[in-house]
Structure formats: C-alpha cells, structure tokens
Amino acid sequence: MDAVEIDPRIQQIGSQINPNKPYDDPRVSVHINDGRAFLSGNTDKYDLILFALPDSLTLVSGASQLRLESYLFTEQSMQAARDHLTDQGVFAMYNYYREPWLINRLAGTVDEVYGHAPCLDTFTAVQSLAVIAIGKEQGNVVCAPNAVWDRASIAAAEIPPPAVDDRPFLYLKERTIPTLYLLVIALILGVSLLGVRIFGGPLRSMSGYADLFFMGVAFLLLETRSITTFALLFGTTWLVNALVFTGVLLAVLAAIEITKKFTVPRRAIIIALFASLLLAFLVPNSALLGLPIPLRLLFAVILAFLPVFCANLLFTSRFKDAKNPTSAFAANLFGAMIGGCLEYLSLVLGYQWLVAVVALMYLIAVLIGGRYSRRLARV
C-alpha cells in the first residue's frame, strides 16, 4: 500500500496519534509528495486508488488562485488515476464538498473519464459529506439502491464542466473573475498607485518609462506561469515552489551579469524573447508529463526560465540607459503590481493564454521602447 501525503507534519501527526497505527504496518510505504506528481512518477497498478479528504485550504505562493490540490481534481488527473488501476480496480474519493454543484462537477468528471456513471453516496446530515466511487469496468462496483449518479436528472447548469490542467479551478463554478476579487484588485491598485506616487515621485516623470511599466506587467505574469508549470510537472510542494523562485532569481542575476560584461544587440534579445514565448505557448505543460523526470526537468527549465532570462536581458539593457533610475524603477514596480493582479485573467483564459498576454505586453513595451530610442537618436 502506498500512502501519499503532501505535508510531512500531517503524516507525522497521523503516525503518532492515529489509534489504528496504519503506518506501523510493514506493507505501508509512505510518500511525502504531491498526489498528482506521485501518479505521474510511477507505473504501478492498484486495486484501489482513494483520494481521502484532499482539501488543503492552502494557496500556492506566487499563484494566488492555485491551491495545493488543484491539479489533483482535473480531468487529466482522473485519467491518470484510471490508467493506474488494474482491470478490477476501483477509484474513490470523499470529502465535505459543501456545494451540490461541486459534487456534480466531480461526478461528471469521472463519468466522462470512465464512460459510465459513478456511485454517489451523500450524507447531508454530516456537513455535505459525499463519497464518489467508480470501477475501471462498470461491473467492478455495485452501488447501493438509488446511489447511482444520474446526469439526466440534474439541470445542465448545475453540472459545471470538468476542471482541466490549463484551468485547474475546481471551486470556481463559472468561467469568470468573482466580483469580490475585482473589488479587492481595484483597492490594491489604488493603494499601489498612491504608494508609487508618494515614494517614486510625480507620475509625469514616469511617462518616459512606459515601456518599463509594460515589462513589469509581463514579468509578474511570466513568474506566475513558471510556478504553475512546475506545480503541474513536479507537484505543489513547498520545495518545488522554492526552487522556482530560486530559478527566477538566478535567471535575473544571469541577465544582469551578461548585460554588464557584454553588449547584446537589442534586436537579438527581442527575437530570442518572442521565440521563447512562442515555444512556451505551443508546448503545453501536460505534453511533458509522460517524459522521464530528468528530461521533464530539462524541458521545464527551458520553457519556464528561458523567457524569464530573455525578458531580464531586455529590462537590464533598457534600465541602464535610464536618466532617472528612480522614476524608471517606480514605473516598472507599478507595472509589476498590475501584472500580479492580471494573474487573475487565468480564471477566464487559462494559464496557456497567459503567455499570449505576456507576449502582448512585451510587444507594447518593444514598440514604445523603439519610439523612445528613435527620439533619443534625434536629440
């Protein structure tokens, strides 16, 4: 038996105080890992795969709407679980789902993946506890009377489409940005603008650095994309997140050092940046899941950090020519704040199309920067 738990402290508590002492059984192997990453990292077959209360209530640092378990409940994850079942195998999950539409989304997802309806047992007297079970083959599970999920008896609006790897937002019923989020974003931007005005000087002094503003917007979106890439490919553990932030900082440092020692043609930087963004857009993260871990890591680093590196070459080559570094940095910082808020576009567009938004922001920055350079050349 393989027991997978993402949080080592929770596993330790269970080992210490669970009266049944499950971890003392020599047949139990403990894996401190993300559940989706564990599935993608082995080829074992199981008679039973159980998602037991995987509800962390914890967000992934740097990706404000991505939860630790988000990639565990996507359609592709359910397919991965099915692929790990024996012919007589059974998949089940249970939790306190709180909303009927959430239960229907999950039941509908496994219905689509397995090709037949799952068993659904709900216990409304116990805080919306629900158990969803389904066999790899229809005859592997015998449902209790009146406990078969029936799509035809439920209004279509109450069965949201499955969450997918590109939009792994299980708890978002509609493809929209919630009004509360929009209000908070507006408040954050207002306070940020006031702070930039107070500490960065008059906003008019930043008008000559509009290209740096758009670079700031794009860079924060790139960082979000890097985090989600590694979260899907290697799990949403804190170690993975720390490695992503380290990689981003190393890419920034490398760009700074190269700009100090060499004069890289601006045209070459721009071509490399847009080529790397095109590659990241054309190659979805899910395409790398089937690769061996060393190859997966290599391609993930290229897809996630090559655009970051090129983007920082463009930024540093522009920033070193700024006559007013304070205003230039303030413009870039405010852009980064905007970019952090635009991350929520992924709720509507998905993470893959965030790359297109990044490309648009850099295109605007390049056009403005080119106009700025021509104006300087005439002076």
Instruction: Tell me which residue of 320, 324, 329, 119 sits closest to 215, measured CA to CA.
Output: 329
Let me know whether 114 and 216 are in one domain: no
Let me know whether 279 and 360 are in one domain: yes
Q: How many domains does the chain have?
A: 2
- CATH number of the domain where residue 44 is located: 3.40.50.150
Token couple for 306: 């090559």
Let me know whether 39 and 101 are in one domain: yes
Let me know whether 326 and 189 are in one domain: yes
One-letter identity of residue 73: F
Let me know whether 270 and 321 are in one domain: yes
Kindly state the percentage of the chain with pLDDT values over 70.
93
Let me know whether 273 and 134 are in one domain: no
Kindly state the percentage of the chain with pLDDT values over 90.
49
List, edge to edge, every strand of the sheet that includes 119-123: 46-52, 85-96, 129-135, 119-123
Bigger pLDDT: 206 or 280? Answer: 280
Q: How confident is the model at residue 61 (pLDDT cuts 50, 70, 90)?
A: very low
Any domain includes 15: no
Mean pLDDT, residues 215-227 taken together: 92
pLDDT in tens, 307-355: 999 999 999 988 888 888 888 888 898 899 899 889 999 999 999 999 9
pLDDT in tens, 127-147: 678 999 999 999 999 999 889
Per mean pLDDT, which range of 29-38, 123-132, 219-228 is the poorest?
123-132
pLDDT at 62 over 50: no
pLDDT in tens, 267-306: 999 999 999 999 999 998 888 887 888 888 899 999 999 9
Let me know whether 121 and 184 are in one domain: no
What is the pTM assigned to this prediction? Answer: 0.85
| Among candidate residues 158, 191, 226, the one where a domain is terminated | 158
Any domain includes 359: yes
Residues 6+ away with beta carbon under 8 Å from 82: 91, 113, 114, 136
Q: What is the pLDDT of residue 327?
A: 83
123: left (phi over 0), alpha (psi -120 to 50) or beta: beta
Any domain includes 12: no
Any domain includes 23: no
| Among candidate residues 126, 158, 190, the one where a domain is terminated | 158
User: Contact at 8 Å (CB) between 271 and 241?
Assistant: no
Q: Which domain holds residue 322?
A: 179-378
pLDDT at 216 over 80: yes
For the chain, give the mean pLDDT.
88
Q: What is the pLDDT of residue 127?
A: 67
pLDDT in tens, 157-174: 899 999 999 999 998 899
Strands, E, within the chain: which ranges?
A: 2-5, 29-32, 46-52, 59-60, 63-67, 85-96, 119-123, 129-135
Let me know whether 71 and 204 are in one domain: no
Q: What is the DSSP string of 61-104?
A: TTEEEEETTGGGSSHHHHHHHHHTEEEEEEEEEEEE---HHHHH
Residues 6+ away with beta carbon under 8 Å from 43: none
Any domain includes 173: no
344: left (phi over 0), alpha (psi -120 to 50) or beta: alpha
Let me know whether 263 and 130 are in one domain: no
Q: Cα 218–232–282 angle (5° rounding)?
A: 55
pLDDT at 9 over 80: yes
- CATH number of the domain where residue 308 is located: 1.20.1250
What does the chain come to in residues? Answer: 379
Let me know whether 151 and 208 are in one domain: no
Helix (H, G, I), strand (E, B) or coil at 194: helix
Q: What is the pLDDT of residue 357?
A: 96
Let me know whether 213 and 318 are in one domain: yes
User: Contact at 8 Å (CB) between 241 and 6?
Assistant: no
Any domain includes 153: yes
Helix (H, G, I), strand (E, B) or coil at 147: coil
Q: What is the pLDDT of residue 60?
A: 46
Token couple for 18: 């669970």
Any domain includes 47: yes
Q: What is the pLDDT of residue 149?
A: 95
Let me know whether 127 and 272 are in one domain: no
Number of H helices, E strands in the chain: 12, 8
One-letter identity of residue 179: T
Residues 6+ away with beta carbon under 8 Å from 270: 314, 366
Any domain includes 95: yes
